[in-house]
Protein backbone atom coordinates (compact mmCIF):
# COMPACT_ATOMS: atom_id res chain seq x y z
CA UNK A 1 0.00 0.00 0.00
CA UNK A 2 1.28 3.47 -0.80
CA UNK A 3 0.72 6.95 0.54
CA UNK A 4 -0.99 7.94 -2.66
CA UNK A 5 -4.53 9.14 -3.24
CA UNK A 6 -5.61 6.07 -5.11
CA UNK A 7 -4.08 2.63 -5.29
CA UNK A 8 -5.63 1.81 -8.64
CA UNK A 9 -4.20 4.93 -10.24
CA UNK A 10 -0.71 4.43 -8.88
CA UNK A 11 -0.65 0.84 -10.04
CA UNK A 12 -1.81 1.63 -13.52
CA UNK A 13 -0.11 4.86 -14.50
CA UNK A 14 3.64 4.97 -15.02
CA UNK A 15 4.96 3.26 -18.14
CA UNK A 16 1.73 3.05 -20.03
CA UNK A 17 1.15 6.79 -19.75
CA UNK A 18 4.58 7.68 -21.07
CA UNK A 19 4.07 5.26 -23.96
CA UNK A 20 0.94 7.24 -24.94
CA UNK A 21 -1.45 4.33 -24.50
CA UNK A 22 -4.73 4.36 -22.61
CA UNK A 23 -4.44 3.96 -18.83
CA UNK A 24 -7.30 2.15 -17.11
CA UNK A 25 -8.02 2.66 -13.40
CA UNK A 26 -8.88 -0.84 -12.24
CA UNK A 27 -11.31 -1.48 -9.40
CA UNK A 28 -9.81 -3.14 -6.33
CA UNK A 29 -10.92 -6.74 -5.92
CA UNK A 30 -13.11 -7.04 -2.79
CA UNK A 31 -10.42 -8.92 -0.83
CA UNK A 32 -7.84 -6.25 -1.75
CA UNK A 33 -10.16 -3.53 -0.48
CA UNK A 34 -10.73 -5.41 2.77
CA UNK A 35 -7.01 -6.04 3.24
CA UNK A 36 -6.00 -2.44 2.53
CA UNK A 37 -8.64 -0.89 4.82
CA UNK A 38 -7.98 -3.43 7.58
CA UNK A 39 -4.21 -2.91 7.46
CA UNK A 40 -4.65 0.84 7.71
CA UNK A 41 -7.09 0.37 10.61
CA UNK A 42 -4.68 -1.87 12.55
CA UNK A 43 -1.79 0.53 12.00
CA UNK A 44 -3.77 3.58 13.11
CA UNK A 45 -5.90 2.21 15.95
CA UNK A 46 -4.58 -1.23 16.88
CA UNK A 47 -6.78 -4.32 17.11
CA UNK A 48 -9.44 -5.41 14.64
CA UNK A 49 -12.34 -3.51 13.09
CA UNK A 50 -15.89 -4.78 13.62
CA UNK A 51 -16.06 -5.22 9.85
CA UNK A 52 -15.28 -3.67 6.47
CA UNK A 53 -18.12 -2.02 4.58
CA UNK A 54 -18.04 -0.61 1.09
CA UNK A 55 -20.05 1.60 -1.23
CA UNK A 56 -19.59 2.16 -4.96
CA UNK A 57 -19.06 5.25 -7.07
CA UNK A 58 -21.50 5.72 -9.95
CA UNK A 59 -21.88 6.87 -13.52
CA UNK A 60 -25.12 8.31 -14.74
CA UNK A 61 -26.18 7.03 -18.15
CA UNK A 62 -28.65 9.83 -18.78
CA UNK A 63 -30.83 12.26 -16.80
CA UNK A 64 -28.34 14.95 -15.77
CA UNK A 65 -29.17 17.88 -13.51
CA UNK A 66 -32.67 16.50 -13.26
CA UNK A 67 -32.59 15.16 -9.69
CA UNK A 68 -33.04 18.46 -7.86
CA UNK A 69 -35.79 19.29 -10.36
CA UNK A 70 -37.82 16.22 -9.39
CA UNK A 71 -36.98 14.46 -12.66
CA UNK A 72 -35.65 11.09 -13.79
CA UNK A 73 -32.05 9.82 -13.70
CA UNK A 74 -30.53 6.51 -14.77
CA UNK A 75 -27.28 5.74 -12.92
CA UNK A 76 -25.33 2.50 -12.51
CA UNK A 77 -23.05 1.57 -9.62
CA UNK A 78 -19.37 1.15 -10.54
CA UNK A 79 -17.13 -1.70 -9.40
CA UNK A 80 -14.92 1.06 -7.94
CA UNK A 81 -15.64 1.39 -4.24
CA UNK A 82 -14.84 3.21 -1.02
CA UNK A 83 -13.96 0.68 1.72
CA UNK A 84 -14.38 1.56 5.36
CA UNK A 85 -12.96 -0.58 8.19
CA UNK A 86 -14.90 0.54 11.24
CA UNK A 87 -15.18 -0.26 14.94
CA UNK A 88 -17.81 1.11 17.22
CA UNK A 89 -16.67 2.99 20.34
CA UNK A 90 -18.42 3.32 23.68
CA UNK A 91 -17.98 7.12 23.81
CA UNK A 92 -18.90 9.90 21.33
CA UNK A 93 -15.43 10.28 19.80
CA UNK A 94 -14.87 9.75 16.07
CA UNK A 95 -11.33 8.94 14.88
CA UNK A 96 -10.64 8.81 11.16
CA UNK A 97 -7.69 7.84 9.02
CA UNK A 98 -7.07 7.47 5.29
CA UNK A 99 -3.94 6.75 3.22
CA UNK A 100 -3.49 10.51 2.72
CA UNK A 101 -3.63 11.22 6.47
CA UNK A 102 -2.17 7.98 7.81
CA UNK A 103 0.45 9.82 9.85
CA UNK A 104 -2.15 11.85 11.70
CA UNK A 105 -5.46 10.43 12.86
CA UNK A 106 -8.23 13.06 12.88
CA UNK A 107 -10.19 13.16 16.13
CA UNK A 108 -13.73 14.60 16.27
CA UNK A 109 -16.47 14.80 18.88
CA UNK A 110 -19.94 13.79 17.73
CA UNK A 111 -21.40 16.30 20.19
CA UNK A 112 -19.31 19.21 18.90
CA UNK A 113 -19.50 18.87 15.12
CA UNK A 114 -21.95 20.95 13.10
CA UNK A 115 -22.86 22.28 9.65
CA UNK A 116 -20.49 24.08 7.33
CA UNK A 117 -20.02 27.66 8.45
CA UNK A 118 -20.78 26.84 12.11
CA UNK A 119 -18.11 26.59 14.85
CA UNK A 120 -18.34 22.80 14.60
CA UNK A 121 -17.59 22.75 10.84
CA UNK A 122 -15.79 19.57 9.77
CA UNK A 123 -13.15 19.85 7.07
CA UNK A 124 -12.31 17.81 3.98
CA UNK A 125 -13.40 14.19 3.62
CA UNK A 126 -14.13 13.93 7.33
CA UNK A 127 -17.34 15.85 6.64
CA UNK A 128 -18.64 12.96 4.54
CA UNK A 129 -18.05 10.38 7.29
CA UNK A 130 -18.66 12.24 10.54
CA UNK A 131 -21.38 14.18 8.73
CA UNK A 132 -23.38 11.02 8.13
CA UNK A 133 -23.35 10.16 11.86
CA UNK A 134 -24.44 13.74 12.60
CA UNK A 135 -27.19 13.62 9.97
CA UNK A 136 -28.51 10.22 11.09
CA UNK A 137 -28.97 11.63 14.57
CA UNK A 138 -30.65 14.78 13.25
CA UNK A 139 -32.98 12.54 11.24
CA UNK A 140 -34.10 10.80 14.42
CA UNK A 141 -32.02 7.65 14.06
CA UNK A 142 -29.80 8.26 17.09
CA UNK A 143 -28.36 8.38 19.51
CA UNK A 144 -25.39 6.67 17.86
CA UNK A 145 -22.00 6.11 19.41
CA UNK A 146 -18.57 7.22 18.26
CA UNK A 147 -16.34 5.04 16.08
CA UNK A 148 -12.85 4.53 14.70
CA UNK A 149 -12.69 4.18 10.91
CA UNK A 150 -10.06 3.71 8.22
CA UNK A 151 -10.93 4.62 4.64
CA UNK A 152 -9.48 3.06 1.54
CA UNK A 153 -11.09 4.08 -1.74
CA UNK A 154 -10.43 3.38 -5.40
CA UNK A 155 -13.13 5.74 -6.68
CA UNK A 156 -11.07 8.41 -8.47
CA UNK A 157 -11.18 11.59 -6.38
CA UNK A 158 -12.66 14.62 -8.13
CA UNK A 159 -13.44 12.50 -11.19
CA UNK A 160 -17.17 13.21 -11.07
CA UNK A 161 -17.82 9.57 -10.16
CA UNK A 162 -19.27 10.27 -6.71
CA UNK A 163 -16.27 9.51 -4.54
CA UNK A 164 -17.92 11.55 -1.78
CA UNK A 165 -21.28 9.77 -2.02
CA UNK A 166 -19.39 6.44 -1.87
CA UNK A 167 -17.84 7.54 1.40
CA UNK A 168 -21.15 8.68 2.83
CA UNK A 169 -22.91 5.47 1.88
CA UNK A 170 -20.11 3.23 3.19
CA UNK A 171 -20.40 5.09 6.49
CA UNK A 172 -24.18 4.77 6.51
CA UNK A 173 -24.24 1.00 5.96
CA UNK A 174 -21.48 0.53 8.55
CA UNK A 175 -23.29 2.59 11.20
CA UNK A 176 -26.60 0.96 10.25
CA UNK A 177 -25.12 -2.37 11.27
CA UNK A 178 -22.89 -1.54 14.25
CA UNK A 179 -25.48 0.77 15.82
CA UNK A 180 -28.31 -1.67 15.13
CA UNK A 181 -30.49 0.61 12.98
CA UNK A 182 -31.49 -2.36 10.83
CA UNK A 183 -32.38 -0.30 7.77
CA UNK A 184 -30.06 -1.39 4.96
CA UNK A 185 -30.42 -5.16 4.62
CA UNK A 186 -27.52 -6.68 2.70
CA UNK A 187 -26.20 -5.90 -0.79
CA UNK A 188 -27.73 -9.19 -1.94
CA UNK A 189 -31.04 -8.66 -0.14
CA UNK A 190 -31.36 -4.92 0.24
CA UNK A 191 -34.17 -3.26 2.14
CA UNK A 192 -34.94 -0.57 -0.43
CA UNK A 193 -37.21 1.51 1.78
CA UNK A 194 -34.65 1.40 4.60
CA UNK A 195 -31.90 2.36 2.19
CA UNK A 196 -33.94 5.32 0.96
CA UNK A 197 -33.98 6.60 4.57
CA UNK A 198 -30.21 6.21 4.82
CA UNK A 199 -29.85 8.02 1.48
CA UNK A 200 -31.75 10.99 2.91
CA UNK A 201 -29.24 11.28 5.78
CA UNK A 202 -26.29 10.97 3.38
CA UNK A 203 -27.73 13.78 1.26
CA UNK A 204 -28.22 15.87 4.39
CA UNK A 205 -24.57 15.32 5.32
CA UNK A 206 -23.46 16.42 1.87
CA UNK A 207 -25.77 19.46 1.76
CA UNK A 208 -25.28 20.70 5.29
CA UNK A 209 -21.93 19.40 6.52
CA UNK A 210 -19.98 19.58 3.24
CA UNK A 211 -21.99 22.52 1.85
CA UNK A 212 -22.64 20.97 -1.58
CA UNK A 213 -26.29 21.54 -2.56
CA UNK A 214 -26.53 18.30 -4.55
CA UNK A 215 -29.72 16.49 -5.39
CA UNK A 216 -29.40 12.89 -4.18
CA UNK A 217 -28.88 10.91 -7.37
CA UNK A 218 -25.35 9.88 -6.37
CA UNK A 219 -26.26 8.55 -2.94
CA UNK A 220 -29.32 6.74 -4.34
CA UNK A 221 -27.12 5.07 -6.96
CA UNK A 222 -24.52 3.96 -4.43
CA UNK A 223 -27.15 2.59 -2.08
CA UNK A 224 -29.98 1.35 -4.34
CA UNK A 225 -28.45 0.12 -7.64
CA UNK A 226 -28.22 -3.60 -8.45
CA UNK A 227 -25.54 -5.53 -10.36
CA UNK A 228 -26.35 -5.90 -14.05
CA UNK A 229 -28.93 -3.12 -13.88
CA UNK A 230 -29.33 0.61 -14.23
CA UNK A 231 -31.49 2.37 -11.66
CA UNK A 232 -34.41 4.39 -12.96
CA UNK A 233 -34.81 6.95 -10.25
CA UNK A 234 -37.86 9.16 -10.00
CA UNK A 235 -36.50 11.98 -7.90
CA UNK A 236 -39.91 13.45 -7.18
CA UNK A 237 -41.46 10.34 -5.67
CA UNK A 238 -38.23 8.67 -4.54
CA UNK A 239 -39.35 5.53 -6.38
CA UNK A 240 -36.64 3.41 -7.96
CA UNK A 241 -36.87 0.68 -10.55
CA UNK A 242 -34.20 -1.73 -11.78
CA UNK A 243 -33.74 -1.65 -15.56
CA UNK A 244 -31.74 -4.59 -16.99
CA UNK A 245 -28.50 -3.13 -18.37
CA UNK A 246 -26.13 -5.82 -19.56
CA UNK A 247 -24.30 -4.31 -22.49
CA UNK A 248 -21.93 -7.27 -22.86
CA UNK A 249 -24.71 -9.55 -24.19
CA UNK A 250 -25.06 -7.16 -27.13
CA UNK A 251 -21.29 -6.94 -27.67
CA UNK A 252 -21.18 -3.42 -26.24
CA UNK A 253 -19.40 -1.65 -23.40
CA UNK A 254 -19.64 1.63 -21.55
CA UNK A 255 -16.28 3.40 -21.45
CA UNK A 256 -15.78 6.00 -18.75
CA UNK A 257 -13.31 8.76 -19.58
CA UNK A 258 -11.98 10.54 -16.49
CA UNK A 259 -10.88 13.86 -17.97
CA UNK A 260 -8.69 14.66 -14.95
CA UNK A 261 -10.10 18.19 -15.13
CA UNK A 262 -11.05 18.58 -11.49
CA UNK A 263 -14.68 19.35 -10.90
CA UNK A 264 -16.15 20.84 -7.76
CA UNK A 265 -19.69 20.95 -6.47
CA UNK A 266 -18.99 23.63 -3.88
CA UNK A 267 -17.61 26.44 -6.05
CA UNK A 268 -20.95 28.13 -6.72
CA UNK A 269 -21.56 26.98 -10.31
CA UNK A 270 -23.65 23.98 -9.31
CA UNK A 271 -25.61 26.08 -6.80
CA UNK A 272 -26.27 28.74 -9.42
CA UNK A 273 -27.74 26.16 -11.84
CA UNK A 274 -29.99 24.90 -9.10
CA UNK A 275 -31.07 28.44 -8.15
CA UNK A 276 -31.95 29.24 -11.78
CA UNK A 277 -34.16 26.15 -11.98
CA UNK A 278 -35.94 27.11 -8.76
CA UNK A 279 -36.47 30.63 -10.05
CA UNK A 280 -37.82 29.38 -13.38
CA UNK A 281 -40.22 27.01 -11.62
CA UNK A 282 -41.48 29.82 -9.38
CA UNK A 283 -42.03 32.15 -12.36
CA UNK A 284 -43.97 29.39 -14.11
CA UNK A 285 -46.06 28.60 -11.05
CA UNK A 286 -44.92 24.98 -10.73
CA UNK A 287 -43.27 23.37 -7.74
CA UNK A 288 -40.48 21.71 -9.72
CA UNK A 289 -39.47 21.87 -13.39
CA UNK A 290 -40.32 18.17 -13.66
CA UNK A 291 -43.96 19.26 -13.48
CA UNK A 292 -43.61 20.47 -17.06
CA UNK A 293 -43.64 18.06 -19.98
CA UNK A 294 -42.38 18.46 -23.53
CA UNK A 295 -45.90 19.41 -24.79
CA UNK A 296 -45.93 22.39 -22.35
CA UNK A 297 -42.41 23.44 -23.13
CA UNK A 298 -42.74 26.04 -25.88
CA UNK A 299 -45.47 27.86 -24.01
CA UNK A 300 -43.46 27.77 -20.78
CA UNK A 301 -40.36 29.09 -22.52
CA UNK A 302 -42.34 31.96 -24.05
CA UNK A 303 -43.68 32.85 -20.64
CA UNK A 304 -40.19 32.87 -19.17
CA UNK A 305 -38.89 34.96 -22.06
CA UNK A 306 -41.66 37.50 -21.46
CA UNK A 307 -41.35 37.39 -17.66
CA UNK A 308 -39.22 40.52 -17.43
CA UNK A 309 -36.62 38.67 -15.33
CA UNK A 310 -33.22 40.11 -16.13
CA UNK A 311 -31.80 36.62 -16.60
CA UNK A 312 -34.79 35.42 -18.66
CA UNK A 313 -32.65 34.08 -21.55
CA UNK A 314 -30.65 31.95 -19.10
CA UNK A 315 -33.82 30.66 -17.42
CA UNK A 316 -35.14 29.66 -20.85
CA UNK A 317 -31.98 27.66 -21.56
CA UNK A 318 -31.90 25.93 -18.18
CA UNK A 319 -35.59 25.00 -18.36
CA UNK A 320 -35.26 23.65 -21.90
CA UNK A 321 -32.41 21.40 -20.80
CA UNK A 322 -34.23 20.00 -17.77
CA UNK A 323 -37.51 19.26 -19.54
CA UNK A 324 -35.93 17.71 -22.63
CA UNK A 325 -33.42 15.72 -20.55
CA UNK A 326 -36.20 14.12 -18.52
CA UNK A 327 -37.88 13.12 -21.80
CA UNK A 328 -34.61 11.70 -23.16
CA UNK A 329 -34.26 9.61 -20.03
CA UNK A 330 -37.79 8.27 -20.45
CA UNK A 331 -37.08 7.51 -24.12
CA UNK A 332 -33.87 5.63 -23.37
CA UNK A 333 -35.52 3.57 -20.65
CA UNK A 334 -38.38 2.67 -23.01
CA UNK A 335 -35.81 1.50 -25.55
CA UNK A 336 -33.82 -0.52 -23.02
CA UNK A 337 -36.96 -2.20 -21.77
CA UNK A 338 -38.31 -3.36 -25.13
CA UNK A 339 -36.43 -6.65 -24.90
CA UNK A 340 -34.80 -6.48 -28.36
CA UNK A 341 -31.00 -6.53 -28.72
CA UNK A 342 -29.33 -3.14 -28.55
CA UNK A 343 -28.27 -3.10 -32.20
CA UNK A 344 -29.12 -1.47 -35.54
CA UNK A 345 -31.66 1.35 -35.38
CA UNK A 346 -32.23 0.83 -31.70
CA UNK A 347 -28.53 1.32 -31.00
CA UNK A 348 -28.45 4.40 -33.23
CA UNK A 349 -31.39 5.89 -31.34
CA UNK A 350 -29.79 5.16 -27.97
CA UNK A 351 -26.52 6.76 -29.11
CA UNK A 352 -28.37 9.79 -30.47
CA UNK A 353 -30.06 10.29 -27.08
CA UNK A 354 -26.66 10.33 -25.36
CA UNK A 355 -25.31 12.78 -27.93
CA UNK A 356 -28.36 15.03 -27.57
CA UNK A 357 -27.95 15.00 -23.79
CA UNK A 358 -24.38 16.23 -24.15
CA UNK A 359 -25.38 19.01 -26.53
CA UNK A 360 -28.11 20.16 -24.20
CA UNK A 361 -25.71 20.18 -21.23
CA UNK A 362 -23.08 22.02 -23.27
CA UNK A 363 -25.24 24.63 -24.95
CA UNK A 364 -28.28 25.13 -22.72
CA UNK A 365 -27.04 24.13 -19.28
CA UNK A 366 -23.45 25.33 -19.82
CA UNK A 367 -21.83 22.76 -17.55
CA UNK A 368 -19.41 21.17 -20.01
CA UNK A 369 -15.78 22.19 -20.49
CA UNK A 370 -13.16 21.77 -23.26
CA UNK A 371 -11.82 18.51 -21.80
CA UNK A 372 -15.31 16.96 -21.76
CA UNK A 373 -16.12 18.20 -25.28
CA UNK A 374 -12.86 16.89 -26.72
CA UNK A 375 -13.43 13.52 -25.02
CA UNK A 376 -16.91 13.04 -26.48
CA UNK A 377 -15.94 14.31 -29.94
CA UNK A 378 -12.86 12.07 -30.13
CA UNK A 379 -14.84 9.06 -28.88
CA UNK A 380 -17.56 9.59 -31.49
CA UNK A 381 -15.01 10.11 -34.26
CA UNK A 382 -13.38 6.81 -33.26
CA UNK A 383 -16.66 4.91 -33.59
CA UNK A 384 -18.54 5.39 -30.31
CA UNK A 385 -22.31 5.02 -30.87
CA UNK A 386 -22.94 7.94 -28.54
CA UNK A 387 -21.07 9.91 -25.88
CA UNK A 388 -21.79 12.51 -23.23
CA UNK A 389 -20.49 14.13 -20.10
CA UNK A 390 -21.77 12.46 -16.93
CA UNK A 391 -22.31 13.88 -13.44
CA UNK A 392 -22.23 17.52 -12.42
CA UNK A 393 -19.86 18.68 -15.18
CA UNK A 394 -17.21 21.43 -15.23
CA UNK A 395 -14.65 18.61 -15.50
CA UNK A 396 -15.06 15.10 -14.14
CA UNK A 397 -15.96 12.27 -16.48
CA UNK A 398 -17.60 11.44 -19.79
CA UNK A 399 -19.09 8.16 -21.00
CA UNK A 400 -19.02 6.55 -24.43
CA UNK A 401 -21.19 3.68 -25.66
CA UNK A 402 -18.82 1.53 -27.73
CA UNK A 403 -18.50 -1.90 -29.29
CA UNK A 404 -16.79 -4.15 -26.75
CA UNK A 405 -13.93 -4.85 -29.13
CA UNK A 406 -13.43 -1.13 -29.80
CA UNK A 407 -12.83 -0.05 -26.18
CA UNK A 408 -9.07 0.23 -26.57
CA UNK A 409 -9.17 1.93 -29.95
CA UNK A 410 -11.65 4.54 -28.71
CA UNK A 411 -9.62 5.11 -25.53
CA UNK A 412 -6.43 5.54 -27.55
CA UNK A 413 -8.17 8.04 -29.84
CA UNK A 414 -9.16 10.10 -26.79
CA UNK A 415 -5.57 9.96 -25.46
CA UNK A 416 -4.29 11.19 -28.84
CA UNK A 417 -6.85 14.02 -28.96
CA UNK A 418 -5.83 15.09 -25.44
CA UNK A 419 -2.16 15.06 -26.36
CA UNK A 420 -2.90 17.18 -29.43
CA UNK A 421 -4.70 19.72 -27.20
CA UNK A 422 -1.95 19.71 -24.57
CA UNK A 423 -4.39 18.41 -21.91
CA UNK A 424 -3.30 16.19 -19.02
CA UNK A 425 -3.67 12.54 -20.08
CA UNK A 426 -7.12 11.16 -19.20
CA UNK A 427 -7.76 7.87 -17.38
CA UNK A 428 -10.38 5.27 -18.26
CA UNK A 429 -12.66 2.95 -16.35
CA UNK A 430 -14.69 -0.02 -17.46
CA UNK A 431 -18.22 0.64 -16.24
CA UNK A 432 -19.70 -2.73 -15.31
CA UNK A 433 -23.05 -2.24 -13.52
CA UNK A 434 -22.16 -3.44 -10.02
CA UNK A 435 -23.56 -4.13 -6.56
CA UNK A 436 -24.76 -1.47 -4.11
CA UNK A 437 -23.28 -0.63 -0.70
CA UNK A 438 -22.81 -3.54 1.67
CA UNK A 439 -20.49 -5.42 3.97
CA UNK A 440 -17.39 -7.32 2.88
CA UNK A 441 -15.90 -8.75 6.05
Least distance to ligand GLA from the beta carbon of 162, Å?
A: 6
Q: Which of 44, 55, 82, 217 binds ligand GLA (CB under 6 A)?
A: 217
Told to check if 177 binds ligand GLA by CB under 6 A, we report no
Among residues 218, 258, 355, 364, which one is catalytic? 218
Q: What is the dihedral of CA 394, 396, 398, 404, to 10 degrees?
A: 170
Stretch touching ligand GLA by CB under 6 A, among 76-84, 187-195, 209-217, 290-298: 209-217
Q: Which of 392, 395, 426, 436 binds ligand GLA (CB under 6 A)?
A: 392
The nearer residue to ligand GLA, 353 or 415, going by C-beta atoms, is 353
Least distance to ligand GLA from the beta carbon of 128, Å?
A: 12
Least distance to ligand GLA from the beta carbon of 116, Å?
A: 16
Told to check if 364 binds ligand GLA by CB under 6 A, we report no
Q: What is the 3-state secondary structure of 97-159?
A: ECHHHCCCCEEEECCCCCCCCCCCCCCCCHHHHHHHHHHHHHCCCCCCCCEEEEEEECCCCCC
Q: Enumerate residues 19-48 that contact ligand GLA by CB under 6 A.
A: none
Stretch touching ligand GLA by CB under 6 A, among 212-220, 308-316, 330-338, 397-405: 212-220
Least distance to ligand GLA from the beta carbon of 17, Å?
A: 27
Q: Which of 148, 218, 355, 371 binds ligand GLA (CB under 6 A)?
A: 218
Least distance to ligand GLA from the beta carbon of 167, Å?
A: 13
Q: Enumerate residues 289-348 that contact ligand GLA by CB under 6 A.
A: none
Stretch touching ligand GLA by CB under 6 A, among 7-15, 210-218, 250-258, 298-306: 210-218
Stretch touching ligand GLA by CB under 6 A, among 46-54, 129-137, 211-219, 289-297: 211-219
Q: Enumerate residues 263-282 that contact ligand GLA by CB under 6 A.
A: 265
Q: Enumerate residues 237-266 that contact ligand GLA by CB under 6 A.
A: 265
Told to check if 214 binds ligand GLA by CB under 6 A, we report yes
Q: Which of 33, 115, 146, 391 binds ligand GLA (CB under 6 A)?
A: 391
Active site residue 111: no
The nearer residue to ligand GLA, 126 or 163, going by C-beta atoms, is 163
Least distance to ligand GLA from the beta carbon of 271, Å?
A: 11
Closest by alpha carbon to 61, among 268, 405, 325, 259?
325
Stretch touching ligand GLA by CB under 6 A, among 180-188, 216-224, 343-351, 376-384: 216-224
Site string for ligand GLA, 52-81 (x = CB under 6 A): --------x---xx-xx-------------
Least distance to ligand GLA from the beta carbon of 263, Å?
A: 9
Stretch touching ligand GLA by CB under 6 A, among 27-35, 183-191, 213-221, 413-421: 213-221
The set of residues, in sequence order, having a beta carbon less than 8 Å from that of 329 and lying 6+ positions away, is 62, 63, 66, 71, 72, 73, 74, 232
The nearer residue to ligand GLA, 218 or 371, going by C-beta atoms, is 218
Phi, psi of 232 (to 5 degrees): -85, 110
Least distance to ligand GLA from the beta carbon of 145, Å?
A: 29
Binding-site size, ligand GLA (CB under 6 A): 13
Q: What is the 3-state secondary structure of the chain?
A: CCCCCCHHHHHHCHHHHHCCCCCECCCCCHHHHHHHHHHHHHHHHCCCCCEEEEEEEEEECCCCCCHHHCCEECEEEEEEEEEEEEEECCCCEEEEECHHHCCCCEEEECCCCCCCCCCCCCCCCHHHHHHHHHHHHHCCCCCCCCEEEEEEECCCCCCCCCHHHHHHHHHHHHHHHHCCCCCCECCCCECHHHHHHHHHHHHHHHHHHCCCCCCCHHHHHHHHCCCCEEEEEECCCCCEEEEECCHHHHCEEEEEEECCCCCCCCCCHHHHHHHHHHHHHHHHCCCCHHHCCHHHHHHHHHHHHCCCCCCHHHHHHHHHHHHHHHHHHHHHHHHHHCCCCCCHHHHHHHHHHHHHHHHHHHHHCCCCCHHHHHHHHHHHHCCCCEEEEECCCCCCEEEEEEEHHHHHHHHHHHHHHHHHHCCCCCEEEECCCCCCCEECC
Residues noted as catalytic: 218
State the residues that interact with ligand GLA by CB under 6 A: 60, 64-65, 67-68, 214-218, 265, 391-392
Amino acid sequence: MTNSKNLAETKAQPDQASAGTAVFSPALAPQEGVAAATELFREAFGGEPDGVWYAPGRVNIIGEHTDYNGGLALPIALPHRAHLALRRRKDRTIRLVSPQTRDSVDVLDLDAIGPKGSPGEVRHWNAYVAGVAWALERDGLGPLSGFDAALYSCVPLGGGLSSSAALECATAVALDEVCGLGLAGSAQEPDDAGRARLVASCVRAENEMAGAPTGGMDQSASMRCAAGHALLLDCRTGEAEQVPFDLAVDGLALLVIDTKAKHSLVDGQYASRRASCEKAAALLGVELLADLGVPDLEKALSRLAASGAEDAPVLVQRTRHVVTEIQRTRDLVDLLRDGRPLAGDKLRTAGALLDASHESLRVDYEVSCPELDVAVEAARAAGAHGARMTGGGFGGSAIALVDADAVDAVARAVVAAYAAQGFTAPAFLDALPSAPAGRLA
